[in-house]
């Protein structure tokens, strides 16, 4: 897991959606037009998920009918064990999952990007210290570290986001550092250095813009992974309170009624699948468009 200072970034562990990004097989018959269509469709679905919930007739805490009412014309996806409209709670849960994934990825890009940029530009002992710190976090068992953080702070959605953010930034630090070191050797950067520009100006004006593509691709591919991890943690009871619509927690509570009222447990899990599926497809489309 721990790599050398000048070596390639280590492979991401399986629980974070491991495997080499470059080694993944492209979709058969993929074209720029198809990728744009996928991106537009994913963007529209995300927009619907973010805009639709407040427009539904019932709120996530409203008692819309009798408990455990099966799906039908009165309640499209049925009601849960308390009588909440399941469609509304799943819609809010999908929105919360997307927003939580965006928060974690943005924090990972911000923290890891700064560390990778400083390490790649400074080199020497600064690079060695920052990369050894990154390797330390990469070597730690991520899920156990998240569990420890949430256990110390208390179970809540905010604390879960903090715990996941703690283990999510090292990969971005590795990706950014490698790309910064490669970009810093380009002729236009050497010319800027010979022209007497400050290291800070070279970093933000010439090196960072040329290093953004792999960071954007990594972030887009991470959406599905973060959604699945958050759902798994909330399924274990490390998410928000019972009143907050969260897909993993809803599915976990519905297991009690799996054989009598299957929709209470299964439909929130389907919501997790849809969000992760859309995130992965959008990430693949972004990767293919950037690599062309």
30 pLDDT band (50/70/90 cuts)? Answer: low
Q: CA nearest 2: which of 164, 133, 180?
A: 133
Q: Mean pLDDT over all residues of the chain? A: 82
Which CATH fold would you assign to the domain 31-63+77-291? MetI-like fold (1.10.3720)
**Which candidate, 274, 254, 242, places its Cα nearest to that of 95?**
274
Report the range of poorest mean pLDDT among 145-149, 196-200, 267-271, 280-284: 280-284
Q: Give the range among 196-200, 233-237, 240-244, 282-286 with minimum mean pLDDT.
A: 240-244
pLDDT digits (tens, 9 = 90+) for 151-195: 888 877 888 888 899 889 998 999 999 999 988 888 888 888 888
pLDDT for the residue 276:
86
* Tokens found for residue 144: 């156990």
Contact between residue 145 and residue 205 where contact means Cβ atoms under 8 Å apart: no
**Interval 24-42 mean pLDDT:** 64
For the cut 50, the answer to whether the pLDDT of residue 27 exceeds it is no
DSSP classification of residue 11: P
DSSP-derived 3-state class of residue 249: helix
pLDDT at 2: 41
Which pLDDT belongs to residue 88?
92
- Tell me how far CA of residue 28 lies from CA of 31, 34, 147, 287, 289, in angstroms: 9, 11, 39, 14, 15
Q: Where are the chain's structural domains?
A: 31-63+77-291
């Amino acid at each position: 897991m721990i790599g050398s200072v000048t070596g390639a970034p280590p492979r991401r562990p399986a629980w974070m959606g491991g495997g080499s990004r470059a080694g993944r097989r492209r979709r058969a018959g993929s074209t720029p037009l198809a990728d744009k269509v996928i991106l537009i469709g994913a963007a529209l679905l995300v927009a619907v998920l973010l805009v639709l919930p407040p427009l539904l007739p019932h709120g996530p805490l409203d008692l819309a009918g009798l408990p455990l009412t099966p799906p039908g014309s009165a309640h499209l996806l049925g009601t849960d064990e308390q009588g909440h409209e399941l469609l509304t709670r799943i819609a809010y849960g999908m929105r919360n999952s997307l927003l939580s994934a965006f928060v974690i990825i943005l924090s990972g890009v911000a923290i890891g990007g700064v560390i990778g940029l400083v390490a790649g530009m400074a080199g020497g002992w600064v690079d060695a210290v920052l990369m050894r710190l990154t390797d330390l976090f990469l070597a730690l068992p991520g899920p156990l570290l998240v569990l420890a953080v949430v256990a110390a702070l208390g179970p809540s959605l905010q604390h879960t986001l903090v715990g996941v953010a703690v283990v999510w930034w090292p990969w971005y630090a590795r990706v950014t550092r490698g790309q910064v070191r490669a970009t810093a050797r380009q002729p236009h950067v050497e010319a800027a250095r010979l022209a007497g520009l400050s290291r800070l100006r070279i970093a933000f004006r010439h090196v960072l813009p040329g290093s953004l593509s792999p960071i954007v691709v990594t972030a887009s591919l991470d959406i599905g992974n973060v959604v699945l991890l958050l759902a798994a943690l909330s399924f274990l009871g490390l998410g928000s309170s019972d009143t907050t619509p969260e897909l993993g927690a809803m599915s976990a509570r519905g297991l009690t009624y799996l054989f009598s009222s299957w929709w209470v447990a299964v439909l929130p899990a389907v919501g997790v699948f849809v969000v992760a599926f859309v995130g992965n497809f959008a990430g693949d489309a972004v990767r293919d468009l950037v690599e062309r």
